[in-house]
Amino acid sequence: MGFRLSRIYTRTGDDGTTAVADGSRVSKDHARIEAIGAVDELNSVIGMLVAELPVDDEFHAPLLAIQHVLFNIGGELAMPGEQLVAAEAAAELEQQLDALNERLPPLENFVLPGGSRAAAICHQARSVCRRAERRLVALTRQAPVTEESRRYLNRLSDLLFVMARLLARRNGAQEVLWQQPPRPTEPSPDSA
């Protein structure tokens, strides 16, 4: 068995720094820690979605597998120079995405988060995924980030969008479509 935490608090971060896996310390708002935190938050939101779904749901096992990959992305970020995400991981998401998207009608309007609790949580995961992707891109200005991790998050946000659409349509429910408001009328120059 690997390293185990015997104490949860160490007090070493009280100065506003935290350790990465190589033992070095960085500020808690360093781009690396921002990226790690965003990926962790994404994993937590997906965990909420998994908890919302029955164990035999078609999305349950794939989402659990995604959580493991996200943990590996966090590991890569914590251990600069390591690659823990396989090159084919994004391709696997693309296969799932293609199969699921075939079950949906083409988009003719923007989709708003909602439709059901599970769909709303899935949309939340999608938006957090986009933030995590932005944090990885920001980190690349300071340090290398594996292309596989960036590609994976990009595909994952697309997959979560399609899953959210399918979840919103379950049991006869509907997706929430954006309704364009009427354009405001501008006052005529004479009425001023």
Spatial distance between the Cα atoms of 120 and 163, rounded to a whole number of angstroms: 11
Higher pLDDT, 186 or 15: 186
| pTM of full prediction above 0.75 | yes
- Tell me the CA distances in angstroms from 19 to 10, 12, 22, 41, one per residue in order: 11, 9, 8, 19
Domains and CATH numbers, the chain: 26-177 (1.20.1200.10)
Residue 54 pLDDT level (bands cut at 50, 70, 90)? very high
- Six token digits for residue 58: 């078609």
- The string of pLDDT tens digits covering residues 1-41 is 455 656 655 665 566 766 676 777 777 778 899 999 999 99
**What average pLDDT score do residues 165-191 get?**
78
Q: For residue 9, what pLDDT is reported?
A: 57
Distance CA 57, CA 107 (A): 25
pLDDT tens-digit map of 135-147: 999 999 999 899 9
